[in-house]
Amino acid sequence: MQIEEVLYAAISSVPELSTLPIRPFVAAEDDLAPYIIFTRLPGVRIGSLSGDSGLVNSHFQIDVYDHDLLEVGRIMSVVRQAILSEIKLGAIHVAERKKFEPETKLFRCSEDFSFWFFE
């Protein structure tokens, strides 16, 4: 199973988040806020002289977009709990930030995670 599948399942299994659009890389044109985007960042595949171990240290950025600053933070809190609760992901929370994006007129809460995962 790919890490993206486990990540998507962890987020979408939470009833409060299951009705929100959850997309890799970019929202669909018809997605209405709030929505969740996940992006895989550079990571490391662990190997040895014996070959690929299957262990991957992947890094992901999770973004929540909404019209309301407080709501974007609340949704991200639920997303964070869903990710950190999924044992298969071996998640470590790395960073967080919030900003307003004038081009979309939406607030954006971004959090970075490091995952230790066997593919």
Task: Note the pLDDT of residue 54.
Answer: 85
Reply yes or no on whether the pLDDT at 77 is more than 90.
yes
Report the pLDDT value the prediction gives residue 100, as an integer from 0 to 100: 98
| CA gap 56, 74 in Å, rounded | 30
* pLDDT score, position 11: 98
User: Kind of pairing, strands 22-24 and 91-101?
Assistant: unpaired
Query: From CA 108, how far away is CA 76, in angstroms rounded?
Result: 10
The H or E element containing residue 78 is helix 69-85
* 3-118 topology per CATH: STM4215-like (3.30.2000)
pLDDT confidence bin for 3, thresholds 50/70/90:
very high
pLDDT of residue 49: 85
In tens, the pLDDT along 90-116 reads 999 999 999 999 999 999 999 999 999
Domain regions of the chain by residue span: 3-118
- Amino acid in the structure at residue 105: K
pLDDT in tens, 16-64: 999 999 999 999 999 999 999 999 998 888 888 888 888 889 999 999 9
